[in-house]
Structure 1
Amino acid sequence: MASKHRIGYLMALSMTGFSFKEADTQQGILLLEFRSLNNRYLELQVKLDESLRSFEPMIRDLISAEIKRGKVDCRIYFKSKTHALDVKNVDPVKLKQLANSVDEIAKHFSHVQPINPLDILKTNEIMHDQSVDMNVLEQDLKKNLKESLLEIQLSKAREGEKLQKILLDKLKDIEVLVGEAKKILPVLIKDYQTKIENKFKEALIAIDDDRLKQEFLIFIQKMDIDEELNRITSHIDEVRRLLKTDGAIGKKLDFMMQELNREANTLGSKSISPKTSQISIDLKVLIEQMREQIQNIE
C-alpha cells in the first residue's frame, strides 16, 4: 500500500501524527490507535491483544512499508462478540500451567490469597475462543489497519503542509539575502578602487595601471563570492524540488542544510565588508531555523 499516492500529496510529511479507529466487524470490535513522534530512524512499538499476536509480523510489515521515520506507537485490541466467559472456551493446558505457577509461588509465602475463578476467566491467555475465524479476522485486521495508516498519513500530511510553507518562506528570505549580496559586490569593487587611488595620491606616488591591476586582482580574489552565491541558489532549487517530492525526504533536507551552512560560512570568511558579514550571519540564522523545522519531517 502506498497511501501517500492515494492521499494525493506531493510534499513533506511530518513525523507527528495520530489516528484512532473503532471498527465494528462481524466477529467483534477492533480498536486501532497510532501515535507518531519525531525520531531519527523508524522505531516501531506494537502492542496487541493475545488473540492478535500471530498477526504481528504482518502488522509490522504493513506499517514499515508505509512509514519510514519516526517513533511509532501502535496499539490494536480485539473484543470478540462471542461469549468470552464461557467455561467451554478455557484452554486446559494454560490453566494447568497457571495452577502450577501459583503453587510454586505459594511455597515462598506464608499467606496467599485464593485466586478468584472469575479473574481467571477474564484472562486472555487462559481463554481459547474457537468460534473466531482467524482467516476472517486477519482480513478485517488488514483492511482496518490500512485505513488507519491512511488516516495517520493524512494527519502527518496536514502537519507537513504547515512545515512546507514555513520552509518555502525561509527560502524566499535566503534568496533576498543572496540578491543583496550580488548587488553589493560591484559597489565594493568601485569603493575599493577609489580608496586605492586616493592612497596613491596621498603618498605622492604616480598611479601605475599595472600596480592598480595587481591590487584589484588581489582584492577580487579575496572577496569573490559569486561561486558561493551560485551554489546557494542551486541548493535553494534542490530544497524546493525535495519539498515537492513524494516519500521520506527528511534526511536529504538535513544534508542540504549542511551544504547551505557550508556556503554561508565561506561567504563570511571571504567578507571584507560589514554588509556582507551581516548577510552571512543572517543566512546562517535562517538556515538554522530551517534545520530545526526539518527535524520534524519524515
Structure 2
Amino acid sequence: MVSIKSMTGFARSSGNCGNYSWTWEVRSVNGKGLDIRMRIPSGYDALDVPARAAISKNFKRGNISLSLNVSHNQEQSGYRVNQELLKQLVDVMKTVQADVPGVAAPSVDGLMGLRGVIEPVEEGESEEEKEAAHKEILANLNEAITDMSANRASEGKRMDEVLSGHIKVIEDLCVKASDCAATQPEAIRARLMRQLKSVMEDLPELDEERISQEAAVLMTKADVREELDRLRAHIEGARDLLEAGSPCGRKLDFLCQEFNREANTLCSKAQDVELTRIGLDLKTVIEQFREQVQNIE
C-alpha cells in the first residue's frame, strides 16, 4: 500500500568533486499543481532542465523551491562568452523581428547582460572537469529529492491518522442522525400532521385526507435519509482513497465539496433542534477535514 504524502517538506544535500563543492536545498509547500522555482548560479544553467525533470519525476503537486550554491577553490582567471547560448538568442531575436516588423535589434550590452551569456573561467579548468562536476552535482540532487520524499511521506503518515479520525467522527455523527427520532418517517409525519391541523383548524372545509396528503408532501421534503446514505457513500470513498495512497489530494478535495453539500442540505431540511445540532457538528468536522486535505499531494 502506498501511503499518502504531504506537500510540505525540506531537504539539503552537499557534495564535492575535485575543486568543486556544493549544496542543494529543496523546500516544498502546498499548491494546486506542481510549480518549480529554481535558483542556480551563473555558469550552471545547463543543470536547470535536468533538475526540473528530476523534481517532476518524483513529485506531482506542491510549490517547490530548489536552490544550488557552488564554490570553486581555483582562482578565477577571467570570463568567456557562451557562444552556443549567444547564437540561440540571436536566432530567436531574428525570428521575432521577422514575425513582428519594427522590433528593434538587441544591443550588444543587452545581449551580454543576459544570464549565462558571460561565464566565469576558472584558471586551469578544462571542459572535462567542468562536465564531471556538473554530473556529480546533478547526481547529488537525487539525495535531496529522496530525503524530501521521505519527509513528505512521514508527514503524510501523521496526516493519514488525523484524516481517518475526522472520517470516524463524520461516520459517528451520521449514526446519531439516523438514530435521531426526528429522522424517522412516522415521527416526521406525526409532527407535520399536528402542525397542519393547528394551522388549518379554522378551515373546516379541509378534511383529514387532504391534511394527510399535505403532510406526506412535507414529509418527503423533510426526509434526510438520502443525504445520510450519500454521506455514508462518501465516507467509504474517502477511506478507499486514503488506503490507495498518493496522489489523491484532488479527489479528496472533491469529496470535501460533496460532504459539505450533503451537510448543508441536512441542515436546511432539519425540523428538529437535535438534528440541526448534528448537522452543524458535521459541517465543523468536514471543514477540519478539508483544511488537512489541502496539504495532501
TM-score with structure 1 setting the length: 0.74
**TM-aligned CA distance change 1:93 to 1:147, over 3 Å:** closer
Seen in structure 2, the aligned counterparts of structure 1 residues 283 and 140 have a Cα distance that, compared at 3 Å, is same
In the superposition, relative to structure 1, how do residues 276 and 223 fare at CA in structure 2: closer, same or farther (>3 Å)? same
Instruction: Give the aligned residue type for 1:261.
Output: N
**Which residue number in structure 2 is paired with residue 85 of structure 1?**
75
Equivalent AA in structure 2 for residue 293 of structure 1: Q
Match of 1:272 in 2: 271
- What is residue 105 of structure 1 aligned with on the other side? none
Residue 46 (structure 1) aligned with residue 38 (structure 2):
yes
Give 1:151 shift: 0.6
- Contact conserved, 2:6 with 2:159, CA < 8 A, in 1? yes
- Matched residue type, 1:39: G
| 2:120 aligned to which of 101, 122, 125 | 125
Residue 89 (structure 2) aligns with: none
Give CA deviations for 1:107-131 in whole Å, capped at 9, x if unaligned: xxxxxxxxxxxxxxxx973536326
Q: Distance in 1 between matches of 2:231 and 2:170?
A: 9
Native 8 Å contact 2:249 2:294 kept in 1: yes
SS for the counterpart of 1:155 is helix
Gap change, CA 1:191 and 1:16, over 3 Å in 2: closer
Q: Which residue is equivalent to 2:227?
A: 228
Structure 1 gaps, min length 5: 1-8, 95-99, 102-122
Question: In structure 1, what is the Cα distance between the partners aligned to 2:195 and 2:279?
Answer: 30
Amino acid at match of 2:132: V
**Is 1:153–2:143 an aligned residue pair?**
no
SS in structure 2 at match of 1:91: strand
Does the aligned pair in 2 maintain the 1:29–1:78 contact within 8 Å?
yes
Aligned residue in 2 for 1:166: 162
Specify whether residues 28 and 227 from structure 1 end up closer, same or farther in structure 2 by C-alpha distance, changes over 3 A only: same
Among the aligned pairs, what percent are the same residue? 29
* Structure 2 equivalent of residue 189 of structure 1: 186
1:198 Cα shift? 11
What is residue 12 of structure 1 aligned with on the other side? 4
For residue 125 of structure 1, give the secondary structure of its aligned residue in structure 2: strand
In the other structure, the counterpart of 1:65 is 57
Aligned residue type for 1:30:
W
C-alpha spacing 1:234/1:63, structure 2 compared with 1 (3 Å): same
Contact 1:27 1:132 in 2 (8 A): no
Which of 46, 50, 56 pairs up with 2:48? 56
CA RMSD of superposed structures (Å): 3.3
Question: 8 Å contact 1:189–1:220 — kept in the other structure?
Answer: no
Measured in 2, the distance between the counterparts of 1:297 and 1:14 equals 5
Pairwise mapping of residues 14-29 of structure 1 onto structure 2 (< 5 A)? Answer: 14-25=6-17, 28-29=20-21
**SS at the partner of 2:120?**
coil
CA distance 1:92–1:291, shift in 2 (3 Å): closer
Structure 2 distance, partners of 1:92, 1:29, is 22
**Displacement, 1:281?**
0.9
Amino acid across the alignment from 2:126: Q
CA distance in 2, matches of 1:198, 1:49: 77
Q: 1:209 to 1:186 in 2, by over 3 A?
A: farther
In structure 2, do the counterparts of structure 1 residues 246 and 219 end up closer, same or farther at CA, with 3 Å as the change threshold?
Answer: same
- How many residues get paired? 259
2:104 alignment counterpart: none
Provide the secondary structure at the position in 1 that maps to 2:176: helix
Whether 1:218 and 2:217 are equivalent positions in the alignment is yes
Q: Give yes or no for contact 1:84–1:127 (8 Å, CA) kept in 2.
A: yes
Partner of 1:50, secondary structure, is: coil
Per the TM alignment, residue 193 of structure 1 is displaced from its structure 2 partner at its CA by: 2.4
Q: Whole-Å Cα distance in 2 between the matches of residues 33 and 198 of structure 1?
A: 68
Contact 1:37–1:70 (8 Å) recurs in 2: yes
Distance, in Å, in 2 between the alignment partners of 1:197 and 1:46 is 70
Q: In the alignment, which residue of structure 1 is the partner of 2:85? A: none
Moved over 4 A (4+): 185-188, 197-201, 208-213
Instruction: From the superposition, tell whether residues 199 and 149 of structure 1 become closer, same or farther in structure 2 (CA, over 3 Å).
Output: closer
Length-normalised TM-score, structure 2? 0.74
Counterpart in the other structure of 1:240: 239
Q: Distance in 1 between matches of 2:33 and 2:194?
A: 60
What letter corresponds to residue 133 of structure 2 in structure 1?
L
CA distance in 2, matches of 1:92, 1:186: 80
